[in-house]
């Protein structure tokens, strides 16, 4: 169970991340999209489903967005109304700063009723004036929901590569009740390792346990996807970028690259007793990339099983479904 695994710092957690459909999608089409999603998701051996909140981050950078922003349905609304038949835990993202304390308290209560778990994310742009600070949002969660839930946060290795303080940011959130972190998509494994090393050192200095780290892996199936990932601030090393640009099957090559990253991080975390897991992200709409994400999910599942971190009988059920 996801809740128990997080609370007990168990490694081998496996998540799958999706975005809600576009906000302007007609209801009849939403029902069709949801049914297709349910058919796919029911067959997956995962501990929880992540449903992301989609925000326009165009003001975060001066670089032009590779394609126009299109708003999506609220992740809680979509999940509670259209994915309620999926009997696994759900993790819902929310930019806490965009809501008042009263709105956040109401939202957290709605999550409790549905058995969902929150992840608070930061500001969509540096000049955004917050209605509620992250610290205040954590206080609301801790006051009313810590006993029956867990709360996660986001970690960004690219930020640590520049500012060298991601470990401090993470432990500040741990002091507010956060017990696990979900990373931005990992393509630069050295950035991830540098963040882990700093985190382990800081935890040792504070005499605290290292929180669970869930590494996000994703598929890059086209040059357009690659451009968008870089626009989002995901650092893709030059050798990987070149491979994806020239190969005839970038989605397939993405699976191979992500698999090698997963192998590397499994060994790295096990050697350092860092509780860890993976989140396989599927946010593209192209069939090729969706299918590649499912292939990657099964591959990572097998890697975790081989390392004694997943239930082998559950994997066989998933593979035969």
Rounded Cα gap, residues 10 and 214, in angstroms: 11
* pLDDT average, residue stretch 124-151: 92
Count of structural domains within the chain: 1
If one counts every other C-beta atom within 10 angstroms of the C-beta of residue 38, the result is: 15
Q: Which domain holds residue 316?
A: 2-320
Look at residue 321 in the predicted model and tell me its pLDDT.
Answer: 38
Task: Find tokens 């610290």 and name the residue.
Answer: 135
**Segment among 37-41, 52-56, 278-282 with least mean pLDDT:** 52-56
Look at residue 313 in the predicted model and tell me its pLDDT.
Answer: 43
Look at residue 60 in the predicted model and tell me its pLDDT.
Answer: 62
Q: Which of 62, 67, 130, 61 is nearest to 94 (CA)?
A: 130
* pLDDT average, residue stretch 155-172: 97
Q: If pLDDT is split at 50, 70 and 90, which confidence band does 314 have?
A: very low
Angle at which helix 189-206 crosses helix 166-174, to 10 degrees, equals: 50
Look at residue 1 in the predicted model and tell me its pLDDT.
Answer: 86
CATH number at 218 reads 3.20.20.220
Q: pLDDT higher for 25 or 70?
A: 25
pLDDT at 192 over 60: yes
State the DSSP code for 214: E
H-helix or E-strand containing 108?
helix 101-114
Look at residue 259 in the predicted model and tell me its pLDDT.
Answer: 98
């Amino acid at each position: 169970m996801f809740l128990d695994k997080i609370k007990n710092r168990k490694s081998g957690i496996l998540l799958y991340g999706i975005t809600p459909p576009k906000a302007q999608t007609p209801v009849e089409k939403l029902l069709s999209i949801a049914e297709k999603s349910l058919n796919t998701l029911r067959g997956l051996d995962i501990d929880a489903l992540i449903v992301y909140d989609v925000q326009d981050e165009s003001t975060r950078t001066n670089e032009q967005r590779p394609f126009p922003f299109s708003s999506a349905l609220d992740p809680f609304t979509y999940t509670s109304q259209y994915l309620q038949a999926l009997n696994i835990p759900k993790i819902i993202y929310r930019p806490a700063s965009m809501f008042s304390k009263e709105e956040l308290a109401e939202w957290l209560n709605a999550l409790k009723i549905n058995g969902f778990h929150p992840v608070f994310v930061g500001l969509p742009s540096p000049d955004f004036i917050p209605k509620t600070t992250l610290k205040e949002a954590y206080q609301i969660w801790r006051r009313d929901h810590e006993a029956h839930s867990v709360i996660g946060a986001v970690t960004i290795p690219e930020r640590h590569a520049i500012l060298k303080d991601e470990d401090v940011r993470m432990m500040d959130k741990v002091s507010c009740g956060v017990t696990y972190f979900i990373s931005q998509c990992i393509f630069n494994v050295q950035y991830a390792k540098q963040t882990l090393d700093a985190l382990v050192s800081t935890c040792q200095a504070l005499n605290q346990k290292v929180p669970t780290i869930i590494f996000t892996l994703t598929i890059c199936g086209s040059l357009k996807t690659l451009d968008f990932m870089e626009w989002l601030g995901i650092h893709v090393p030059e050798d990987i970028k070149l491979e994806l640009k020239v190969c005839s099957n970038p989605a397939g090559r993405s699976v191979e690259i992500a698999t090698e990253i997963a192998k590397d991080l499994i060994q790295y975390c096990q050697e350092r007793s860092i509780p860890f897991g993976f989140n396989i992200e599927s946010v593209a709409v192209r069939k090729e990339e969706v299918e590649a994400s499912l292939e990657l999910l099964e591959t990572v599942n097998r890697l975790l099983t081989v390392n004694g971190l997943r239930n082998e009988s559950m994997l066989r059920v998933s593979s035969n479904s």
